[in-house]
Structure 1
Amino acid sequence: MSDSNHPIEGMMDTTLQNIRQMVDINTIIGDPITAPDGTIIIPISKISYGFASGGSDFACKANPDKDFFGGGAGAGVSISPVAFLTISNGNVKMLQIDPYNSSTDRIVGMVPDIVDKVNEMINGKKKKKDEQAAAKQENTETQPQK
């Protein structure tokens, strides 16, 4: 029997095809839900999956020209909700369901807040600079020309 037509390949292909049917992008990023106040809520899930297959060829004394094959395959999928994205009045926030499990999770969870604070700081400095420039312009316009 040639390797390209081996029954184990057919079992693996069938298993992977079934996993693909169960898990698509809509499973990870869910369909948006609109709340009565106009807030959009998007569920986010974590998917873990695995599969295994194995088998063996058996020789048959009664029919030595034919190989017999015995095998099996299996798969498992775990889908866990991990967070929700909320969009309300132009603000996007991530609400995590599970507590942070590691320092990396905490850092990733802090990124949106840090970005918001940096933007506020930059906008505050820009506003102050614009106010100073406007005040300076006003002073030059009100002073008499020599």
Structure 2
Amino acid sequence: MAEHPIEGMMGVTMDKIRQMVDSNTIIGNPITVEGTIIIPVSRVTFGFASGGSDVGQKSTKDMFGGGTGAGVSIAPIAFLVVNDGNVRTIQLMEHMSPVDNAINALPDLVDRLTAFLKKEKKDKKDDAGDKSAEESGTKE
């Protein structure tokens, strides 16, 4: 069975959208400047519409009218800055939604959790060393 013309138009439009919008569009390629890594973050929105009609039912074999369309908006919203193992977010937009605020807080949360876990691991090692010293009678 032959493909309907609207299917071909939709396929071409979706392929063009895929070419424009991929993960590299949202999270950009890292840029390294003097040991600091800068990663651009963008908000991508897109819309897609298609429609068609077989006009005049008397001779539908060759009659078709239709169209497709799409729109893409790409707006830079932030940069992730990685320097000496620390991650910071530099926002470009003043008005943020709760989701944006949560995403903005993530790097700081990761840094705090990492520092906390390292401290806890160190404290456990120190406690184990103190117990070992007490058992051998060498602790002052």
Give the TM-score, by structure 2 length.
0.77
Alpha-carbon distance in structure 2 between the residues aligned to 1:31 and 1:111: 20
Whether the 8 Å CA contact 2:42–2:77 is kept in 1: the answer is: yes
Q: Please state whether the residue corresponding to 2:38 is helix, strand or coil.
A: strand
Judged with a 3 Å threshold, the aligned counterparts in structure 2 of structure 1 residues 100 and 129 are, in CA distance, closer, same or farther, namely farther
Q: For 1:2-25, what per-residue CA distance to the aligned partner results, in whole angstroms no more than 9, with x for missing partners? A: 6x5211111111111221222233
| Deviation larger for 88-97 or 134-143 | 134-143
- Counterpart check, 1:43 vs 2:29: no
RMSD between superposed Cα atoms in Å: 2.7
1:110 counterpart (84, 105, 109): 105
Alignment correspondent of 2:14: 16
User: In the alignment, residue 42 of structure 1 is paired with which amino acid?
Assistant: I
- Counterpart check, 1:30 vs 2:28: yes
Which ranges of structure 1 fall in alignment gaps of 5 or more residues?
none
Which ranges of structure 2 fall in alignment gaps of 5 or more residues?
none
Judged with a 3 Å threshold, the aligned counterparts in structure 2 of structure 1 residues 118 and 100 are, in CA distance, closer, same or farther, namely farther
Q: Percent identity?
A: 51
Q: For 1:44-82, what per-residue CA distance to the aligned partner results, in whole angstroms no more than 9, with x for missing partners? A: 212111111111111276xx4744111121110001112
Judged with a 3 Å threshold, the aligned counterparts in structure 2 of structure 1 residues 68 and 109 are, in CA distance, closer, same or farther, namely same
Alpha-carbon distance in structure 1 between the residues aligned to 2:95 and 2:44: 17
Whether the 8 Å CA contact 1:8–1:55 is kept in 2: the answer is: yes
Alpha-carbon distance in structure 1 between the residues aligned to 2:53 and 2:24: 37
Whether the 8 Å CA contact 1:100–1:106 is kept in 2: the answer is: no
Give the TM-score, by structure 1 length.
0.75
User: In the alignment, residue 127 of structure 1 is paired with which amino acid?
Assistant: K
Alignment length, in residue pairs?
Answer: 138
